[in-house]
């Protein structure tokens, strides 16, 4: 019996031993299986362990910087920080007083205390503060550091910043952050089109650490090399861009148009020196509402600016006789009728006069009877007006040329019926400015590696065609000069561009007034037009092209010209740009024109008036003072080049009195009006022969400045009449 029990126990003991041995080998086998990198429940434990023990530090590299051609920073990466709070008491430093932390962080982050407190009350080791706690500036970080709050820390990173705010916003564009990679990607403008050049490659350092985060000694570190983005240099000139921006800002606020476009270009190279459109947006705020870059992505009927190209086509074809005459007013043909902007016309006039007066009838006859529809369309193509320019900006569209009917073909000659982009017009103009050679516009100058300074990509001037001959270009420019300089009156009207003339600079150009339609009906009223001007200077060797178009401005009854918003942009931009290019002014002298040397005007801001007066006199300039004390405003602006004897108007504090403007030029009178904030109303041409307010009158901002202009002979007669009738007042009326 006992022997049988013993055998039974030995048997079961053997069975249990075998089971334990099998279990042991299974466990050991499983460890070997795991050690060989096999998966369990879809997880590679070796890889998972490495992840848990590996620390990876990202090396945040910089996206490429965007510069103007003269080196002004237009877009750059600057330091930024993400705020976090450590909540676990196991950490060396953690948030102890949650109410105080929420209360002091709220005004800096722009968050509610309750929202911050809710984040701090979570059962987590560490929390962040959402979008409000991301991309914090260095100034915000310093404010938070000064609070000395336990458990509050920062993760360093970078963000995109645009120092010039809204300047050239549609050209530069902006970036958007990719949460997955924590990198920025171009989403608009140059930032988007050159994203492959501008994008950086972040690096990383990985190493093994202990549970407490301390690196394990004697362990190698794996380094992934970082690479900064390339720098981009644009053709934009920061000074000209600033003047264009300021002039367009002022006009946009004053006249509240539907939209505006402005382009300044170098006709010799095709480089875009400045470009702006309204409405715009702030690049740092991303408050964009309209996602198209108007100069290249919007087309419109340009109006009489197109007469420039019709004229050049007629001259180049050998069919233009500027001294031939035609009856203005209305031109009827099989398929329709065309009227001049002055319905009664000017009687029988020459084609040259028709160009100066912007006669639709004259150019309809020119296109219909002399050029012919086929030849006109051929020249539109040669001028690049039937296809995109190829400018290096995203979103460019082409023109819409209507050629289905006779009326469409005739109206195309004076800028109605067919629509073009501002960039197409500028490209076509380079042929006229550049003696027949048309240059393709471009805005990216070069791309540079910031580490090696090696040029990765560069843009060079590219000829886009030769639509006209040199002789044609010279003759066209001469007639464009007459549009701006001819003050002779033809049956009650004078050349349409005289308001754009800058004495001494030989400005040439062509005005445009395009009709607008709504629901198929022609809109009426002086506000319902697109007003534009296409200008160049100087005539013989143009250094720049300026094109400005303003759609539906809200004009005031006191505005002397319907195109006043365009004038207010073109004149300062043209003047400042010519001075920047050191184009010497010319002055008339005994029937001749001579060049004069100039001095650069200093800034007298906040200097004593009497001190500024002495400095100006020392430079052979003529100071005109309004008020007293310290100089608050001056005209012309600092940096402008002045010829000897030029007037400089200084405005100080206190009572301001009207100077005697007798014999002054209109340009000098405008300096007083600008500094004093007066509204000028001008009658006639030439020099001041009478004024209102009278000399010595107290003036205030917003007052009218009414000037009667006349010739030197008129001035003499006025002086003689004043001597004979001393004590009488000017005959000017307050109501123009």
Where is average pLDDT lowest: 32-36, 198-202, 302-306, 364-368? 32-36
Residue 730 is predicted with a pLDDT of 34
Residue 736 is predicted with a pLDDT of 29
**Considering 167, 304, 485, 577, which one is annotated as catalytic?**
304
State the DSSP string of 408-419. HHHHHTTT-SSB
pLDDT band at 59 (very low <50, low <70, confident <90, very high): low
Q: Average pLDDT for residues 154-164, to the nearest whole number?
A: 86
The answer to whether 200 and 61 have CB atoms below 8 angstroms apart is yes
Residue 327 is predicted with a pLDDT of 96
Distance CA 328, CA 347 (A): 6
pLDDT band at 306 (very low <50, low <70, confident <90, very high): very high
**Angle in degrees, 0-180, between the axes of helices 238-255 and 564-580, rounded to the nearest 10:** 170
Residue 436 is predicted with a pLDDT of 96
How far is the CA of 80 from the CAs of 178, 287, 694, in angstroms? Answer: 16, 21, 59
Distance CA 362, CA 355 (A): 8
pLDDT band at 716 (very low <50, low <70, confident <90, very high): very low
Residue 208 is predicted with a pLDDT of 53
pLDDT band at 685 (very low <50, low <70, confident <90, very high): low
Where is average pLDDT lowest: 252-266, 318-332, 711-725? 711-725
State the DSSP string of 522-562. E--STTSEEEEEEEEESSSS--EEEEEEEES----TT-SST
Class of residue 454 by CB neighbours under 10 A (exposed 0-12, middle 13-18, buried 19+): exposed
Residue 215 is predicted with a pLDDT of 56
Q: What is the pLDDT of residues 186-238, one digit of tens each?
A: 888 999 999 999 988 865 555 455 544 555 565 555 666 768 899 999 999 98
Residue 525 is predicted with a pLDDT of 84
Distance CA 385, CA 400 (A): 9
Q: Average pLDDT for residues 528-548, to the nearest whole number?
A: 95
Residue 180 is predicted with a pLDDT of 61
Where is average pLDDT lowest: 26-40, 411-425, 655-669? 26-40
Q: Examine the pLDDT at 719 and tell me if it is beyond 80.
A: no
Q: Examine the pLDDT at 179 and tell me if it is beyond 70.
A: no
Residue 82 is predicted with a pLDDT of 87
Q: Examine the pLDDT at 727 and tell me if it is beyond 50.
A: no
Q: Average pLDDT for residues 105-109, to the nearest whole number?
A: 91
Q: Average pLDDT for residues 381-388, to the nearest whole number?
A: 97
Residue 197 is predicted with a pLDDT of 94
443 closest CA partner among 185, 193, 174: 193
Residue 50 is predicted with a pLDDT of 53
Quote the percentage of the chain above a pLDDT of 70: 82
Residue 39 is predicted with a pLDDT of 55
Residue 214 is predicted with a pLDDT of 52
Q: Answer with the residue of higher pLDDT: 269 or 222.
A: 269
Across the chain, mean pLDDT equals 84
Q: Examine the pLDDT at 286 and tell me if it is beyond 90.
A: no
Return all residues near 259 (Cβ < 8 A) that are at least 6 apart.
277, 278, 279, 294, 298, 550, 551
Return all residues near 380 (Cβ < 8 A) that are at least 6 apart.
309, 386, 401, 412
599 closest CA partner among 659, 660, 554, 648: 648
Mark whether 577 is an active-site residue.
Answer: no
Quote the percentage of the chain above a pLDDT of 90: 48
Residue 280 is predicted with a pLDDT of 93
Distance CA 103, CA 90 (A): 24
Residue 477 is predicted with a pLDDT of 96
pLDDT band at 476 (very low <50, low <70, confident <90, very high): very high
pLDDT band at 590 (very low <50, low <70, confident <90, very high): very low
Residue located via tokens 């303003």: 550
Q: Answer with the residue of higher pLDDT: 216 or 539.
A: 539
532 closest CA partner among 556, 496, 502: 496
Where is average pLDDT lowest: 180-184, 345-349, 364-368? 180-184
Q: What is the pLDDT of residues 427-448, one digit of tens each?
A: 999 999 999 999 999 999 999 9
């Amino acid at each position: 019996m006992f022997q049988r029990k013993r055998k039974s126990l030995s048997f079961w003991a053997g069975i249990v031993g075998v089971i334990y041995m099998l279990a042991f080998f299974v466990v050991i086998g499983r460890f070997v299986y795991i050690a060989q990198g096999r998966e369990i429940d879809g997880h590679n434990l070796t890889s998972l362990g490495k992840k848990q023990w590996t620390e990876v530090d990202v090396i945040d590299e910089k996206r490429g910087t965007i510069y103007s051609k003269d080196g002004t920073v237009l877009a750059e990466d600057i330091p930024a920080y993400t705020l976090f709070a450590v909540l676990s008491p196991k950490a060396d430093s953690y948030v102890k007083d949650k109410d105080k932390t929420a209360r002091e962080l709220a005004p800096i982050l722009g968050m509610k205390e309750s929202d911050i407190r809710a984040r701090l009350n979570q059962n987590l080791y560490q929390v962040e503060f959402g979008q409000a706690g991301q991309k914090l500036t260095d100034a915000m970080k310093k404010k938070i550091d000064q609070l000395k709050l336990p458990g509050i820390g920062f993760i360093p990173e970078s963000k995109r910043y645009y120092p010039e705010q809204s300047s050239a916003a549609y050209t530069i564009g902006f970036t958007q952050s990719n949460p997955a990679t924590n990198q920025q990607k171009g989403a608009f403008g140059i930032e988007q089109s050159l994203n492959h050049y501008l994008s950086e490659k972040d690096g990383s350092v990985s190493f093994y650490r202990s549970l407490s985060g301390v690196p394990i000694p004697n362990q190698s570190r794996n380094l992934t090399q970082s690479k900064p983005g390339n720098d981009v240099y644009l053709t934009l000139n920061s000074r000209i861009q600033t003047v264009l921006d300021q002039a367009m800002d002022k006009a946009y606020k004053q006249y509240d148009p539907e939209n505006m476009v402005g382009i300044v270009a170098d006709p010799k190279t095709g480089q875009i020196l400045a470009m702006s459109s309204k409405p715009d947006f702030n690049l740092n705020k991303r408050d964009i509402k309209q996602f198209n870059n108007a100069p290249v992505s919007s087309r419109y009927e340009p109006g009489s600016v197109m007469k420039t190209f019709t004229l050049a086509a007629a001259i180049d074809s050998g069919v233009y006789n500027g001294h031939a005459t035609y009856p203005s007013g209305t031109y009827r043909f099989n398929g329709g009728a065309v009227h001049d902007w002055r319905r009664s016309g000017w009687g029988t006039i020459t084609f040259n006069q028709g160009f100066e007066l912007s006669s639709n009838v004259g150019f309809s006859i020119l296109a219909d009877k002399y050029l012919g529809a086929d030849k006109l369309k051929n020249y539109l193509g040669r001028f690049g007006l039937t296809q995109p320019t190829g400018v290096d900006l995203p979103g460019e569209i082409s023109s819409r040329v209507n050629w289905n009917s006779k009326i469409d073909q005739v109206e195309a000659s004076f800028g109605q019926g067919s629509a073009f982009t501002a960039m197409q017009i500028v490209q076509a103009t380079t042929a006229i400015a550049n003696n027949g050679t048309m240059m393709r516009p471009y805005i990216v100058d070069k791309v540079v590696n910031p580490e090696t300074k090696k040029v990765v990509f560069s843009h060079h001037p590219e000829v886009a065609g030769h639509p006209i001959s040199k002789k044609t270009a010279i003759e066209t420019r001469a007639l464009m000069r007459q549009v701006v300089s001819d003050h002779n009156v033809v049956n009650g009207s004078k050349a349409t561009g005289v308001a754009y003339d800058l004495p001494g600079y030989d400005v040439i150009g062509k005005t445009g007034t395009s009709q607008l339609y709504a629901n198929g009906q022609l809109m009426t009223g002086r506000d319902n037009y697109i007003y534009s001007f296409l200008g160049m200077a100087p005539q013989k060797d143009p250094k720049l092209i300026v094109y400005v178009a303003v759609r539906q401005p809200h004009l005031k009854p006191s505005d002397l010209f319907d195109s006043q918003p365009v004038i207010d942009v073109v004149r300062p931009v043209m003047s400042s740009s010519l001075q920047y290019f050191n184009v010497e002014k010319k002055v008339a002298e005994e029937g001749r024109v001579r060049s004069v040397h100039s001095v650069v005007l200093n800034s007298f801001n906040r200097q004593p008036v009497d001190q500024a007066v002495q400095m100006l006199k020392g430079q052979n300039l003529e100071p005109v003072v309004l008020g007293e004390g310290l100089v608050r405003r001056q005209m012309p602006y600092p940096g402008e080049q002045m010829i000897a004897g030029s007037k400089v108007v200084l405005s100080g504090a206190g009572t301001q009195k009207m100077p005697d403007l007798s014999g002054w030029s209109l340009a000098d009178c405008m300096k007083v009006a600008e500094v004093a904030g007066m509204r000028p109303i001008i009658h006639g041409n030439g020099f001041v022969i009478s004024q209102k307010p009278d000399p010595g009158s107290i003036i205030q901002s917003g007052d009218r400045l009414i000037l009667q202009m006349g010739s030197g002979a008129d001035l003499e007669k006025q002086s003689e009449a004043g001597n004979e009738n001393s004590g009488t007042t000017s005959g000017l009326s307050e109501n123009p």
